[in-house]
Amino acid sequence: MDPPNLYPVKLYVYDLSKGLARRLSPIMLGDIRQERILRIEQLWQHPFEWFFLVYGDIRRCFSSWKQLEGIWHTSIVVHKDEFFFGSGGISSCPPGGTLLGPPDSVVDVGSTEVTEEIFLEYLSSLGESLFRGEAYNLFEHNCNTFSNEVAQFLTGRKIPSYITDLPSEVLSTPFGQALQPLLDSIQIQPPGGSTVGRPNGQS
């Protein structure tokens, strides 16, 4: 009996911020509490105490700053196409074929025995249930949720946790909590793909 065909599965990772998240996240997501600022102001008035305590206070003041490496959009590449989820539903394109261009990194998820025919049937089912366009939510049900679901279906493996943990990291900060109502309304749909299961260009 011939062994089953194996098809490679890749995770394409894009940083939607193009590096800005890494540079700006400590400022935007930092938790510099007012009492710490007052403490530093008091130390300025007592030079000798400042000399001995400044390092510890400054370190504690900035230790809670969060560093985000990127704002991640991901997709699954299998059977010679790239598949992703956005506010328009599940879409596909040639690898790197959206206006985002080539990915910032590629993760080798593994291999799958799932044929293209079965995979497309699976995607069609997802597109009519869990991953309809109107189900999209920036924090709770996004492109990375889709990639993680599909990666497990194809290979039994999850995508890296630094990607799936990003929403909770942002929402754990005062800045993220304050902006959540606004961010929840944001819809992301990378242009350049065709919706799976519908005629090209129809959304």
Residue 146: C-alpha distances to residues 32, 133, 165, 198 (Å): 35, 12, 14, 18
At residue 91's C-alpha, the angle toward residues 104 and 189, to 5°, is 65
CA distance 42 to 127: 59
Q: Which of 46, 61, 73, 93 is catalytic?
A: 73
Residue type, position 82, single letter: E
* DSSP E strand stretches across the chain: 7-15, 72-78, 81-86, 89-93, 105-112, 194-195
Residue type, position 184, single letter: D
Nearest Cα neighbor of 134 from 86, 184, 98 is 86
User: In Å, how far from its chain's centre is CA 74?
Assistant: 7
8 A C-beta contact, residue 111 and residue 157: no
CA distance 119 to 78: 9
Establish whether 143 is a catalytic residue. yes
For residue 149, the tally of other CB atoms under 10 A from its CB is 17
Supply the residues annotated as catalytic.
Answer: 73, 143
